[in-house]
Amino acid sequence: MPERLRSTFERLEKAVTDVYEGRLAPQKASAMASLAGAMVKIIKAGENSAFSLPAQLEFPGLEKWYAMIRGYRRVKPRLAGDPPSEPTDDLEAELDEFERKYGKVKLPEEWM
């Protein structure tokens, strides 16, 4: 244990006893432990000069995938009144072909 953390450890050790015996609120002890943990992380980061966070995702084509996702953010959604961007003639022909092949679909009526 680094010398500079010995007093912090002793305080936390005493806090465990104080919480158990009711002299210290558990919330305060929890805050102390959280701060001590942050101190340890900072000290360890300083000891390791090549400190860096590991990549969260790593696979071939990652940059291309991120570029694709960023591109989706730039796509303007079509509003209800906007004309369709694709030709409707092909769509109408496909619908007619479907109706010829399968017949017209009638939705059931609701009865109350």
Judge whether 21 lies within some domain: yes
Number of domains in the chain: 1
Mean pLDDT of the chain: 76
Domain of 28 in residue numbering reads as: 3-47
Count each helix (H run) and each strand (E run) in the chain, helices first.
4, 0
The answer, yes or no, to whether residue 23 has pLDDT greater than 70, is yes
> Can you tell me the mean pLDDT for 87-100?
77
Judge whether 34 lies within some domain: yes
Q: What are phi and psi of 83, to 5 degrees?
A: -70, 150
Distance in angstroms (rounded) separating the CA atoms of residues 70 and 112: 49
Contact, 11 vs 39, CB < 8 A? no
The answer, yes or no, to whether residue 111 has pLDDT greater than 60, is no
- Tens-place pLDDT, residues 24-59: 899 999 998 888 888 888 877 777 656 566 666 677
